[in-house]
Chains A and B, each alone.
Chain A
Amino acid sequence: MFFAISATNVCSSRSRITGKERDTESGLDDFGARYYASSIGRMMTPDPHTGTLLHMLNPQRWNMYAYALNNPLLFTDPTGMDAIAVNFSGDVGGLGHMGIISVHPDGTATYSRFGPVKGGSPIDVGQVRTDRDLPKVDFGQNGLPTDASYQALTDAVGKFEGDYQGKVRMAYFKTSDAETGNLDAYINAAQAASDARRLTYLGFPAGNCATYCAIGLHRAGANRGAVGALNIFSAIPNVYYWWLQLWANQIHEEVTHRIID
């Protein structure tokens, strides 16, 4: 009797690996973009984000049916709350500029960026600015924002940054709810510290918009790996985005890049 009740309870709960729903007919877990067969520990369809040549550098990515780079203890592949690194490649005389977007399950999103004050002192406080008026993100079948949604996000952050007309690049990271919660907490703490003029902006070497973004990604669990959140590349925004393109695909499941002119 005990086992019968226990079995019923288990079957009635549809939530499975990383909180995904299981299709009761097929027994597969729905990951939005792909179905996962827990019985064989493999995805049922190949990874739709085959990426670039760089994608092939990591041998774990060669198996396009693998889940979370065959390392489910380190990487999870949930949909829902996410993080986006935004790069404005033509800003600041070609050095670029960066910001970060926190995306919530209901599609609401927050853009945050870090910059200098206009006092002009070489070592000065910085200011965090936050835009909470972004359009709601629409997710497609693959669990990622639709093209129209990417465009709307680009337009919104471009407008916030002063009708920016150049190339906007976005690196989209799937993160867990808790991780994006960490990112939100980070943005709020930075905003409060900026309000109190406690954030130092150093510009070129560190403590700039790219390091702000890098720490945000790290808090969102989207930038883990051997190199860590802060590295020499985050000294220059465009170089840091190049680093994201080069390495983030290797160490994190399902990061996608969009370039919108």
Chain B
Amino acid sequence: MRRRLLGAIGVGLILLGQFPYRYAEYKLHQHNWTPLAFAFPFKTGELNIPEFTTDVTGLYVVSLAFDSTHAELTECLLGNDGFKDKCDFPVHGLELDWSLRRGDRVLVDRQRYRPHAFGGSEGVETELGRFEAHAGDAQRVQIEIMRDSPILAAANPRLIVEAHWSLWEGWAELSQASLWLEVVLGFLGIVCIVQAIRGKWPSRPRLEVRRATRD
């Protein structure tokens, strides 16, 4: 009976440890947080960018991403002041306008790129701007590049539209934190199961010794 109880506790601990991690992983993968990741040729003129549908209601960030082969140089070309000493030749940086439409409605009208926010998970990223969206909305970004940049063109430019990190970061944090809980509870659960299989109950031998002494 005790062995069964110990085994059940072990299984329970393992399942209990799994729950928060599985739940966080489910929430993290429940939505498409990046509805658009579109590679484009970096040359002057208007770009033909496909329509995308937002999956959650909230703030979205529109940004450009580049490969990080020459990260510091690319940051400099994008206008990041922290890297302005990394361009030691005539700079041909980013000069473009971007617009955002939802059906016939213009949400952002030909806004000129202004370097202000950098960083992301797709390489060297620079933020173009943000917009509020509802789940199921279909939008289209338009970009007009004013000036060529051979270095940026070679860095595999992509247009990224992703949900603001405040919408998903908590789940990513919970996923990581709950893994530790899963490891600890899982270890305790395995110990219980092993003890149950081996048939050892910590207090049992002592009791037997005392009984033998009385006899």
Knowing A120-B175, A195-B123, say if A133 contacts B116 (CB, 8 Å). Answer: yes
In Å, the complex CA distance between A130 and B176 comes to 23
Binds A, one of B3-11, B162-170, B197-205: B162-170
Q: Report the nearest B residue to A201, measured CB to CB.
A: B176
Q: Is the CB of B29 within 8 A of A205?
A: no
| A221 interface residue (CB < 8 Å to B) | no
Q: Is the interface on chain A under 10, 10 to 19, 20 to 34, or 35 or more residues? A: 35 or more
Binds B, one of A42-50, A73-81, A142-150, A186-194: A186-194
Hey, which chain B residues are within 8 Å of A133, CB to CB?
A: 116-117
| A164 interface residue (CB < 8 Å to B) | yes
| A66 interface residue (CB < 8 Å to B) | no
- Cross-interface CB contact of A191 among B82, B168, B175, B180, cutoff 8 Å: B82
Determine which residue in A117, A120, A129, A132 has the highest number of CB atoms from chain B within 10 A of its CB, and name it: A120
- Cross-interface CB contact of B82 among A117, A122, A188, cutoff 8 Å: A188
| B96 interface residue (CB < 8 Å to A) | no
Knowing A110-B82, A122-B176, A203-B176, say if A191 contacts B75 (CB, 8 Å). Answer: yes
Q: Is the CB of A92 within 8 A of B25?
A: no
| B68 interface residue (CB < 8 Å to A) | yes
Hey, which chain A residues are within 8 Å of B74, CB to CB?
A: 195
Hey, which chain B residues are within 8 Å of A201, CB to CB?
A: 176
Q: Is the CB of B169 within 8 A of A92?
A: yes
| A196 interface residue (CB < 8 Å to B) | yes
Q: Report the nearest A residue to B81, measured CB to CB.
A: A132
Determine which residue in B68, B82, B170 has the highest number of CB atoms from chain A within 10 A of its CB, and name it: B82
| A197 interface residue (CB < 8 Å to B) | yes
Q: B residues within 8 Å of A by Cβ?
A: 24-25, 28-29, 33-34, 59, 68, 71-72, 74-75, 80-83, 115-121, 123-125, 164-177, 179-180
Q: A120-B171, A132-B81, A161-B166 are in contact. List 16 more A-B contacts (CB 8 A).
A: A92-B170, A92-B173, A115-B169, A119-B121, A122-B179, A127-B121, A130-B82, A162-B59, A162-B165, A163-B166, A192-B83, A195-B123, A196-B68, A197-B121, A201-B176, A202-B176
